[in-house]
Amino acid sequence: MIHSVRFKCVLDTNVIYPIEIRDLLFWFAYYDMFTPKWSGHIFDEWKDVMARKGVSEEEANKRAERANTAFPDALVNNYSGLISSLTLPDPKDRHVLAAAIKTNANIIVTNNIKDFPKEYLASFGLAAKTADDFLTDIIDLNPERAVKAFKELVLNRRNPDLDEFQVLNILRNRGLKDAADFLHSQL
């Protein structure tokens, strides 16, 4: 079931950054709505994005370390040998699929759906979903827990402190329109 910690999802770099999408994903994972997975390659890409956005190397490393500490079983290892045997429209995405295969994930959460062909992923027992579609499904399957996780996300926000509706508007602006609208309807 999708609302179970046994439901494993590889989070692609483009859903780990921006921070608002990552925070919602991480809070849902913290509330045991799914198990997040990622690889060293994904985190290297995340650190590169943070560097391009002006985040210091020290801060980028701290953020990655905090994520790995919060979810100690999330890091997928020993997947590199699969990369060269995989075929995707963008060869730079093969590491994401390799990590998903290695960890027996159910879904790859990515906003680059076009780079993960449905039929090819299905041959590995996988599917890809956008962050908005994935989060909307999670909320639909467990709305009470999703609202608790969202409220805790809002309570723990700093710099600046925002209310629930301000956070929902940020999520909408980050491409999580359906998920934000669904959460809004549950408040």
Q: Where are the domains of the chain?
A: 8-186
pLDDT at 1: 43
Show the tokens assigned to 184: 């809004």
DSSP state of 12: P
pLDDT at 91: 96
Instruction: Say what the pTM is.
Output: 0.94
pLDDT at 30: 95
Show the tokens assigned to 124: 């590995």
Q: How far is CA 8 from the centre of its chain?
A: 11
Show the tokens assigned to 149: 């996780």
Stretches where the chain sits below pLDDT 70 are 1-5
Q: Residue 94: what are its φ and ψ, rounded to 5°?
A: -60, -35
Locate all alpha helices (DSSP H) within the chain, ordered by sequence: 13-16, 19-30, 40-52, 57-70, 80-83, 94-102, 118-122, 131-141, 143-156, 164-173, 177-186
pLDDT at 161: 84
Domain 8-186 has CATH 3.40.50.1010: yes
pLDDT at 5: 57
